[in-house]
Amino acid sequence: MSTLPGRFLDALGQVYDPCCREKGISVVDMGLIHSVTVDARHARVQLLLTSGWCPFAARVLDEVRERMEGLPGIDSAEVEVIWTEPWTTDRLSASARSKLRFLPDPADVPDRAAYLAAHQPTDKGVRS
């Protein structure tokens, strides 16, 4: 991913996929912004999607366009989804990675068997 100017990062850092909004993970944190170019006050944003089946893609595309058009010096914007490069979790920011981590870092668990034993669900309250 190319380095984006701060004004684009600030604007697009306020755009959230609805699935990640409650965790505070923006499209920038997700690594969805591939590139932003500006030519004669027209911005072109290339965006990756985590899945081609995302039901919120149109909403995210509209919000990215609206944020770009709200910037000084930008009169119009277009957003294009690119498919030539797959999105992978390597694109996540450190902040997004930590917010999405459900398990501790393996380096923080010296005794895997003891950790698993301590975190297994119990049968208490289960009726057959």
Q: Which of 3-7, 52-56, 70-74 has the highest mean pLDDT?
A: 70-74
In a domain, residue 21? The reply is yes
In a domain, residue 128? The reply is no
Give the strand pairing for 76-81 and 33-39. Answer: unpaired
pLDDT for residue 40: 95
What's the structural domain count of the chain?
1
pLDDT surpasses 80 at 82: yes
> What pTM value is reported for the model?
0.75
pLDDT surpasses 60 at 127: no
Q: How far is CA 14 from CA 25, 27, 75, 121, in A?
A: 9, 8, 19, 38
Note down the domain range covering 58.
6-118
pLDDT, tens digit, for every residue of 21-57? 888 999 999 999 999 999 999 999 999 988 877 777 8
Give the strand pairing for 42-47 and 76-81. Answer: parallel
In a domain, residue 123? The reply is no
In a domain, residue 125? The reply is no
Amino acid (1-letter code) at residue 6? G
CATH number assigned to the domain comprising residue 58: 3.30.300.130
pLDDT, tens digit, for every residue of 95-124? 998 888 777 777 888 888 888 888 777 665
pLDDT for residue 91: 93
What string of DSSP letters covers 38-101?
A: EETTEEEEEE--S-TT-TTHHHHHHHHHHHHHTSTT--EEEEEE--SS---GGGS-HHHHHHH-
pLDDT surpasses 50 at 1: no
In a domain, residue 37? The reply is yes
